[in-house]
Amino acid sequence: VETEYADTIAQGTPEQEPANFKDGVAIIRLHQFGEQTNHQWDVAVNEIIKTCNAGTVACEGVILDVRNNPGGFLDGSVYVASEFLKDGLVVTQEHSSGQSLEYTVNRKGRLLTQPLAVLINRGSASASEIVAGALKVRGRATIVGETSFGKGSVQERIELPHDAGLHVTTAKWILPDGSWINEVGVSPDIEVVDDPTTADVDEQLDKAIEVLKSKE
């Protein structure tokens, strides 16, 4: 459903960085869920699998970094979540009309068994919260960082006279456990507040690596 938005895409923002490793842990940073996300994601995952199969690194886990990811295409969030889940529900769209539409795992994931951590912060919204929330409530990932933004609705703008407008909620995004993240956000399993005075240190990333290595 590429025409279905979970939120507005930031034009000009790169969607994803190439996968890299730190201390034997693979890291994928997603900046937003755009038109190229699925392809770029496949490239990154293929590189991780190739590197791990070559035996050049320990491959002790995977970190999905969606900090400051404002959202984007819904299908991208379902595609990414499906990489880590064998089957089942990812998110439900509940319309104001009463109709519900379930989005389930839609392909065979390649990272189903690797220890997984997801990094979130207050800038993680909408589609990124769908991924983090689904992986959390399905028991697949450890969430590290700060509580996310809390954007769990689809809104339409109704134009009014005198250049005024009204935003009306037309649908809600519901996680697999029935929770609605709107104005609440996804809470981390391990809270780590970023310290702005330590620009050369990423405390949240370091904690996620520590958590994954402790699972070995």
The question of whether 126 is a catalytic residue gets the answer: yes
Burial track 102-136 (b if 16+ CB lie within 10 A, e otherwise): ebebeeebebeebbbbbbbbbebbbbbbbbbbbbb
The length of the chain is 216
Choose, from 77, 151, 153, 207, the residue flagged as catalytic.
151
Dist. CA 180–CA 178, nearest whole Å: 7
Question: What is the rounded end-to-end Cα distance, in angstroms, of the chain?
Answer: 38
147 burial (CB, 10 Å; 0-12 / 13-18 / 19+) is: middle
**Which residues lie across from 20 on neighbouring strands?**
27
Largest CA distance in the chain: 65
Verify whether residue 151 is a known catalytic residue.
Answer: yes
**Amino acid at site 64:** L
Set 126, 128, 148, 153: catalytic member: 126
Residues 6+ apart with CB under 8 A from 32: 9, 10, 13, 15, 69, 70, 71, 72
Under a CB-based contact definition with an 8 Å cutoff, are residues 194 and 5 in contact? Answer: no
Type of residue found at 171:
A
Half-sphere exposure of 167 (CA within 13 A, CB side): 4
Annotated active-site positions, please? 126, 151
